[in-house]
Structure 1
């Protein structure tokens, strides 16, 4: 399956509050009719208001997203699991040990640790958003992730 366009994708990060909901919304806008897309976290967090703002900037509303864990997902059978944080990657490898799912690790900075002015913090969230969008397009347009 590696390299081909998957029919279902799960994005996983630590809290399902920043990176994975961003990735889910971006991927749904781009491929929502062709690919089943979900997101989850290792633990449940609270949706981050900066994430909501930077997604609004690109015309996506994630304000109604409710963070949940991998265990909360009813259909846990995905072609591809994309992990965005080390703890998520370990959890996904554990979860997929006995299944045919591909797991890819996309190291993605956590913008919640950004410091500085509000503008500097927003810029770190934009950087994550834009990086995810570029990577999603590259991977889901049928090419492999490139590592």
Structure 2
């Protein structure tokens, strides 16, 4: 989001669980688009609240898995949030060998990019 839309919106990445480290294949395929994930750390919805991110200040949660969609919908009982589910390929565990795995991760990355562009329009930053 930040690569394409800059500071036009406040964006926070969260999931159901905290894996802390971002998958190396994700780092590699995002780097191909100039998106730096090496220092990115994931956090859970609960950690966001613990660390001071007020979920009521968000307008939209984009869920990329059924589990995150369920958790986001639970949050809507307490906060007014729109929840969209984007069924994206889960590339973990797919492919034999490095190149096949990278191809799966590229497919997932490109699905997310296409959904962002369809939902939010053309990039406002130089990152297209």
The TM-score, its normalising length taken from structure 2, stands at: 0.85
Structure 1 unpaired stretches of 5+: 1-26, 143-147
Secondary structure of 1:104's partner? strand
* Equivalent in the alignment of 2:126: none
1:67 to 42, 67, 76: 42
Aligned equivalent of 1:76: 55
Q: After TM superposition, give the deviation of residue 92 of structure 1 in Å.
A: 0.4
Secondary structure of 1:36's aligned partner: coil
Q: Which runs of 4+ in 1 moved over 2 A?
A: none
The structure with the greater share of residues assigned to strand is 1
Structure with the greater alpha carbon radius of gyration: 2
TM-score in terms of structure 1 length: 0.74
Please state how far the C-alpha of 1:34 moved relative to its aligned partner: 1.0
Q: Distance in 2 between matches of 1:101 and 1:140?
A: 17
The aligned counterpart of 1:33 is 7
Q: 1:58 aligns with which of 33, 36, 59?
A: 33
Instruction: State whether residues 18 and 42 of structure 2, in contact with CA within 8 Å, keep that contact through their aligned partners in structure 1.
Output: yes
- Aligned Cα root-mean-square deviation (Å): 1.4
Gaps (5+ residues) in structure 2?
A: 123-128
Corresponding position: 1:99 with 2:79? yes
How far apart, in 2, do the equivalents of 1:38 and 1:44 lie? 14
